[in-house]
Amino acid sequence: MGKMDDPTCSLCQGRQTTEHVLSSCKVALSQGRYTWRHNRVLQELVSVMSTAKGEIHSSSTSSTVFTTEGGVKKWHGGSITINNHRTGLLDGCDDWVVSADLPEWERHLDVIRKTALWPDIVIHSASTQQIIMVELTVPYKSRMEEAHTFKEGKYLNLTKELKKDGYEAKVMPVEIGARGFVGSSAYGLLSKLSIYGNKRTKALRLLAETAENSSRWIWSRRNESHCSKSIVFVVETPAAAAAGATAVTVALASAVTAAMSVSAAEAAQQQQQQR
């Protein structure tokens, strides 16, 4: 992302390292820069997850073996049985509903909304009383493991409460690095949702590119005290909902996306002039 001319952060006067700019500046956090990036990645993640419902996947055969009748792989020196029917978290029922803590997505279950914690994504089945909570973090690579452990602990009590209410509940933290490094948790989540092969590869690449492109915009505006006066970050919070507020915050991401496009165009123009 290039070298810094000034080692001092223009926003908070702290040390302007790459990690600081992309994930640790308190002013950038308060302005919603990290929230905007998080929600862009979240939008892509929930879109991918919503396609997992009702899909049937089978394992692909290897080019180095052949399959005999009965689903047996013949290998040099032995044989193994093919698993043509992988089991995933969504197997066994067809009434899964996906909700996300984003303005344009379906609202979470009341049993979730009445609590102080709202996971980023909730997948639930009314027929089987199952709730899968997915919590996304877009941290710096060196803090991915720490973020995963923190989110597991954060939702531990909520998981216990849901189980007391008769639900089969689990929380699955997911990390996509601020610079595009995909955590193993993301790979594991998609696999457990029966998203395999090329589809999984494309999904992980999309998540990585979204995080990296968003961070590139944050980096390009690191010395600007205000991103844009037209940008308002809006997120409906549990406290606001409890108070009866109809809308608290909605992100006008199009304005930021437009700014990113302009930034990219400016960079391309500068490169052309330097040739």
pLDDT band at 218 (very low <50, low <70, confident <90, very high): very high
246: DSSP letter: S
Q: Is residue 42 part of a domain?
A: yes
Residue-wise pLDDT for 52-89, tens only, equals: 764 433 333 333 333 333 434 333 334 434 344 556 88
Domain containing 26 equals 18-52+88-265
Q: Which of 152-156, 157-161, 188-192, 269-273 shows the lowest per-residue confidence on average (mean pLDDT)? A: 269-273
Q: Positive or negative, the Cα torsion across 197, 199, 204, 208? A: positive
User: What pLDDT score does 94 carry?
Assistant: 83
Q: Is residue 176 part of a domain?
A: yes
Q: Is residue 156 part of a domain?
A: yes
Exposure on the CB side of residue 164, measured as CA atoms within 13 A: 7
* pLDDT at residue 170 greater than cutoff 80: yes
User: What pLDDT score does 226 carry?
Assistant: 77
Residues 229/9, Cβ–Cβ less than 8 Å: no
Residue-wise pLDDT for 86-143, tens only, equals: 568 888 788 899 999 998 888 888 889 888 899 999 999 999 999 999 999 999 999 9
- In degrees and rounded to multiples of 5, residue 248 shows phi and psi of -115, -55
* pLDDT at residue 243 greater than cutoff 80: no
* pLDDT at residue 191 greater than cutoff 90: yes
Dihedral angle at the C-alpha atoms of 76, 77, 81, 87, nearest 10 degrees?
A: -70
Count how many domains the chain has: 1
Q: Is residue 82 part of a domain?
A: no
Q: Is residue 67 part of a domain?
A: no
Q: Is residue 12 part of a domain?
A: no
Share of the chain above pLDDT 70, in %: 67
User: What pLDDT score does 228 carry?
Assistant: 56
Q: Is residue 1 part of a domain?
A: no
Rounded to an integer, the average pLDDT of 34-56 is 86
User: What pLDDT score does 81 carry?
Assistant: 42
